Amino acid sequence: MPRPTRPLSAYTGMIVAPQPEAVEAGHAILTAGGSAVDAALACAFTQGVVDPLMCGIGGLGSMQVFDRASGRHEVLDGLSTCPAACTAAMWETVFERECADGYGYVLTGAVNEIGHSAVTTPGVLRLFEAAHTRFGRLAWADLFAPAIDFATNGWMIRPHVAGMFATNDAAYGRLPYSAKLAATPDGRALYMRHDGAPKRLGDLVQNPDLAGTLAVIARDGVESFYTGSIAERIVADMEAHGGLLSAADLAGFRSRVDAPLEIAYRSRRIATPPPPAGGIVVAEMLRILERFDLTALGHNSPEYIRVVAEAMKIAGRDKERHIGDPDYVVPPLDLLLSSRYADDCAALIRAGEKTSLPRAGGDSPHTTTVSCADADGMVVSLTHTLGVPSGVIPPGTGFMLNGAMNWYDPRPGRPGSIAAGKRRFSSMSPTLVFEGDAPVMTVGAPGGAWIGVAIVQALLNVLDWGMTMQEAVSAPRFSATTDVIDISNRIPRGVQRAVEAMGYQVRRSALSFPFAAPHGIALWDGQMEGGADPQRDGYAAGVVRRAIG
């Protein structure tokens, strides 16, 4: 088994994220002596300013933290919940079909995707509050300065943001993102040009209303969002437009602290978030793939793609059958992660069996991530999102609310069906890897149902193939979240033809770096080395305490 090698570095802290402004924010906090959680939160607040369709204070998230000093290792859950007004059958008669790519459901009038009825109870600020209380070092208010500065003075539309603004998901059954940006007067003023088109690459966005909202949260804490002046604005807007979210929903929301879901993989310990987050998919794939000598197959060879794709499909099928909110549907984790089940699945793959996965339901691919490590041994992986953004910006607040009702199955009696207070399965899987008791790798990814398959390939690239972190997140990926195997445009056509000769339908992406966007930090032997997926706009930044001479 190869051991990853890393170049000698002087870094004592590091942060990596898909947005350069957010990396700057987190790096400044690390440099000022903040903990890894402090830096991740400052990064996340800034992400909500400069990636307004990906994430924000109206969204939801999942964070994993290991703190060497205290020995605590926790998953903090800020996944949103259905408002209390929701009922299982409320949209059954307007259900039309599932979205073609597995990200949500098509309803007449798009009531679950855009507008006030699409909003679930936002959870991410309660998560951030709990994380800071448990692991923060700097004052809460200090974490907001970079985000407030970018909101006040402005930021330029970057390539990935411009691409999102121009995205039209009509082929999959969802609305174009320009419709979300223009859904409210505030959205039109912030993100649309005078001709009615979305702002373009290089255009400036200034959001003084969001700066004011963040200043209130910095001064008064998150209670201002859930029961105070910001809550009053949210509820007034909901009542004016027939929304489901109520003052009681906001006031009653609490984040959760869980133990991570852990498995062994080739002598290392993999820690992922438990359901309803997506760690079970990552864990099940790794349990199956450990039964194969993957390096003997050749990286991204036809047989390697077949074996890994079948593991992806098995885990996706099992997620569809069994995984929802554990408060409503108890997941059979002991079975799915057992050695016997992994052996049986591996035997079917060896025999050439093809698992059927007509569709894998999941959340929106429009998400973001942060990984951070500090000099004291704290390691953090955070993924957060708006889900499918609702387009709703409560007047005068500057932030968009999530549209995560799109994730819930409008058909009653299913693991992902609608129910008051229910959390929906989320593919978000902020992951940590340990060798003995020491963390050696953190990885997270935005990308909806692709998150699990991307994280697994990044893990395999490091743990089996000995790649550096940057190599691991940059290597060509493939995906099997349905019966079709999707491949990167950098996988050779000869390989594609060989996989097709095995009886698979293969779909080539036009993109060079598709299928989620993993970002992470490797920490082997105390050396920090970051990796940022090239398809996004971010990078890894290290804090240097001493020079190597």
What is the tens place of the pLDDT at every residue in 341-352? 999 999 999 999
By C-alpha distance, which of 197, 179, 223, 202 is closest to 400? 179
Q: What is the DSSP letter of 453?
A: H
pLDDT digits (tens, 9 = 90+) for 195-224: 999 999 999 999 999 999 999 999 999 999
Mean pLDDT of 513-542: 92
- The percentage of residues in the chain with a pLDDT greater than 90, rounded to a whole number, is 81
Position 549 scores a pLDDT of 42
Summary mean pLDDT of the chain: 93
Of 100-104, 167-171, 480-484, the least confident? 100-104
Give pLDDT, residue 131: 98
pLDDT of 548 over the 60 cut: no
| Catalytic-role residue among 367, 385, 442, 468 | 367
Please say if the pLDDT value at position 433 is more than 60.
yes
* pLDDT top residue among 320 and 293: 293
Which of 3-12, 132-141, 261-270, 361-370 is the least confident region?
A: 3-12
Q: Regarding predicted confidence, which is higher, 103 or 139?
A: 139
pLDDT value for 311: 98
pLDDT over 90 (residue 230): yes
Structure tokens at 63: 């964070």
pLDDT at 494 over 90: yes
- Does 58 score more than 90 pLDDT? yes
Q: Is the pLDDT of residue 270 over 80?
A: yes
Would you say 428 and 277 are in contact if contact means Cβ atoms under 8 Å apart? yes
For 133-177, what is each residue's pLDDT tens digit?
999 999 999 999 999 999 999 999 999 999 889 887 777 778 888
User: pTM score, two decimals?
Assistant: 0.93
396 Rama class: left (phi>0) / alpha (psi -120 to 50) / beta: left
Judged against a pLDDT cut of 50, whether residue 523 lies above it is answered with yes
Please say if 367 is a catalytic residue: yes
Instruction: For the chain, give the percent of residues with pLDDT over 70.
Output: 95
The string of DSSP letters for 499-542 reads: HHHTT--EEE-S-SS-S---EEEE-GGG--EEEE-TTSS-EEEE
* Nearest-angstrom CA–CA distance, 119 and 108: 17
Q: How far is CA 484 from CA 250, 303, 356, 392, 494, in A?
A: 41, 16, 10, 35, 17
Average pLDDT over residues 458-462: 98
What DSSP assignment string belongs to 437-473?
TEEEEEEE---TTHHHHHHHHHHHHHHTT---HHHHH
Please count the residues of the chain.
Answer: 549
Instruction: Kindly indicate the confidence band of residue 384, based on its pLDDT and cuts at 50, 70 and 90.
Output: very high
Average of pLDDT values for 80-93?
Answer: 96
Q: Both tokens of residue 398? A: 């500057």
Q: Are 103 and 174 in contact (CB under 8 A)?
A: yes
Q: Structural domains in the chain?
A: 1-475+516-543 (3.60.20.40)
Name the 3-class secondary structure at 423: coil
